[in-house]
Every structure is written in C-alpha cells, then in structure tokens.
Amino acid sequence: MSTRYEGLTLIRHLCDAFGPSGCEDGVRRLIEEQLADLTGIQTVTDRLGNLIVRLPAPNGSANRDTRIMLSAHMDEVGFMVTAITDEGYLKFDTVGGISPRVLCGRNVTVGDGETQAEGIIASKAIHHKPRSKRLDITPITSLYMDIGATSKAEASRAAEIGTYATFSSPFVCFGQDDKFIKAKALDDRLGCALLIELARALSQSPPDNAPDLYLCFTVREEIGISGAAVAAQSVRPDFAIVLETTAVGDVPDADASARVASLGEGGVISLMDRSTIYDRDFIRFAMDTAKRHGIKAQIKKYVSGGNDAAHIHKSGVGVRTLALSAPTRYLHSPACVAHYDDYTAMLDLLLTMLGTWSYGKEPLC
C-alpha cells in the first residue's frame, strides 16, 4: 500500500501534484491511493474524469433518503504550449485565470504529469524595452518559457503544441507555529484534502443518522466548471457543500469592505458570488452549528468569483447549496497562502454538521 498522508503532509503532496485543468489524472491517482484502505465506500470515475466516492447511509439512518454531494475540484490553473520558436523557447497561453502580473521570472514545470521539464517564464530584458514601456505589465503574448533548449528540435523533445505546464513552487510552512501554508494549487487541493480526511473519519465511525454522502473530486473547474455539472447530474443530490478557497485581501491599505475574510478565523461561508445565490437556511444551519459547537466560521463579506456551485445548484430539480471556503491570499499564483487552523476548523464543522444532520428537505415557500 502507498504511504498514508494526513494533515499538512497530505495537503503538501496534493499541492505538489501536477494537475492543470484537463490533466488531472495524476491528482486523481494520488487521491485514489489515499482512499485505497477504506472499507464500505463505493468509487467510480466518470467519462470526464471526476472521481465520485459514495459513503452509503447506515442501515436504519433517519436520513437514509437524503443525498448530499460534497465537491472539491482537482484541477489547478496552469498553462498550455501554443508554439515553439526556432531558438527553442515555448510560447504559451494560460489555462484558467492567471494575471500576467505574477508570471515573469516564475519557475514552471512543463509536461504531462509523468514526463516533465523544468523551466522559467521570461520576457525581453528591461534594457531591450523602450523607457516608456519598462513599467508596463508584460502581456502573455510577449512572454515565453525557457526550458534550457537551444533549438526547436531540442525543445520539441520535451514539449509539443498542447503540452501543459504548471507553476513550480515549493511547499513552505511559516509564521507562528508554522501555521501559515505557502504553496501552488491550494485552490483546490486543500478542498480535496478535506474530502479525503472526511471520508476516512466517516468510514471509520459513521454517525447513526448519517445521510447518503457523495464525495466528488471534480475536473475542469478553472475553465468552466464542466466536471461538477456532470457529477451533479449523476449524483442527483438534495444538498451540496462546495469546498473551496476564496481570495482575501487582509493586507495593509485594503479597505475593510474589500478584505473578504481573515486568515485564522475559520472557514468562509458565502452568501452570494458571481454565479450562485446560496441557500439562506443552509447558511443559518452551518453558522448555528459552528456557534453551538465553538467552531470558528465567518461570512464572506464580498461578492466575487464562482465555483462548482454554479452548475450544481441548478442541476436536476434544484439543489440547496452551501459554499465553505478556506480564506487564501494570492490565489492563482505560485505562492498561495492559507492558515492550517482554518483547515482544521472546516473539517470540524463538516464532521459536526454531517454527524448531527437535522436539516430537512422540505421545499422553500
């Protein structure tokens, strides 16, 4: 059996895995390895590559007929090679939303998750640019990847048009008690880690009245949320909880209204984003559960972004949906920063909600 990872070590191995949108196979294999020793679960990989893990409700559970989908996406933002120059440089475009501001000088890994080459994103040196352009943000069309090749033929042995790339960034713990986490792909490997630890806890000791649970590790969230749409059609849930990260701005000089949430204050529950208005009763159930059990949680104080909920909530006859996110600085960069206490608070809240499930299926007014 493969080594079993937990906590920070689990998050690190997931973040280090190569898995841009459309190339999630390596991440899925790692997740399958981490779930391989569990009994009483059912797993399936669908046509798009979503990994769906079912934890059936116990016999006699009062919530046996309640289906809950928990979703976290496996993919990360990345790049795709679009051309190879005669000199051996790789031209590229982004896969998912990445600001050109965070690109120049960054290390990247080019490949397919198995065969890989290291490289650097670069552009013209500053002395090659007119003075009027030196402070401008370099557009992606003027950037290239240097993988140490000296000709098109040499570069073509490492990459071709359509080859993927991701940020290459070491996983670092820092700050007081090493509780701050810096890594690429915290969006959304942190959510995947939560689902793995949730599956372990609930398969080992399922609550008597646990609902029928479907843990969905989805694909292609960063380029249009197609994986979650297919998974939701298959699962047909009554409720869904989307586990995510959310960009925060708790930095100097940021207006309080734009800070969104704070690191170290628990998981972030959204009221609304650019694609979903979340179920208010579900939000109250989550916040009341957190308060009763002394678990840190906070409300997202800004309307922005979107996630798997965009398609899940409007699938079938409609799904009551909650988004629970880890507050994260510098998202979609090689140096995303989260706090481990928020991760453990999210896990505690999920286990408590599912272990004491008392939320009904009755329709809204």
Give the phi and the psi of residue 360 in degrees, each rounded to 5: -85, 170
Helix/strand/coil percent split, the chain, to 5? 30, 25, 45
Q: Which of 358, 355, 308, 322 is nearest to 55 (CA)?
A: 355
Helix (H, G, I), strand (E, B) or coil at 93: strand
What confidence score (pLDDT) does residue 1 get?
Answer: 58
Report how far apart, in Å, the C-alpha atoms of 315 and of each of 72, 226, 278, 348 are.
17, 12, 14, 28
Cis peptide leading into 136, omega within 30 of 0? Answer: no
Q: What is the mean pLDDT of residues 314-322?
A: 96
Give 167-193 pLDDT, tens digit per residue: 999 999 999 999 999 999 999 999 999
Give 110-126 pLDDT, tens digit per residue: 998 678 999 999 987 77
Percent of all residues in the chain with a pLDDT value above 90, rounded to a whole number: 81
Cα separation of 320 and 238, whole Å?
7
Q: Which of 71, 86, 64, 103 is nearest to 215 (CA)?
A: 71
Give the neighbor-by-neighbor strand order of the sheet with 42-45: 42-45, 51-55, 212-218, 67-73, 239-247, 320-328, 267-269, 297-299
Rounded to 5°, the CA angle 7-9-13 comes to 120
Give 254-277 pLDDT, tens digit per residue: 777 778 899 999 999 999 999 999
What confidence score (pLDDT) does residue 25 get?
Answer: 96
Helix (H, G, I), strand (E, B) or coil at 76: strand
pLDDT at 329 over 70: yes
What confidence score (pLDDT) does residue 360 get?
Answer: 62
Can you give the pTM of this predicted structure? 0.95
Cα separation of 109 and 17, whole Å?
11
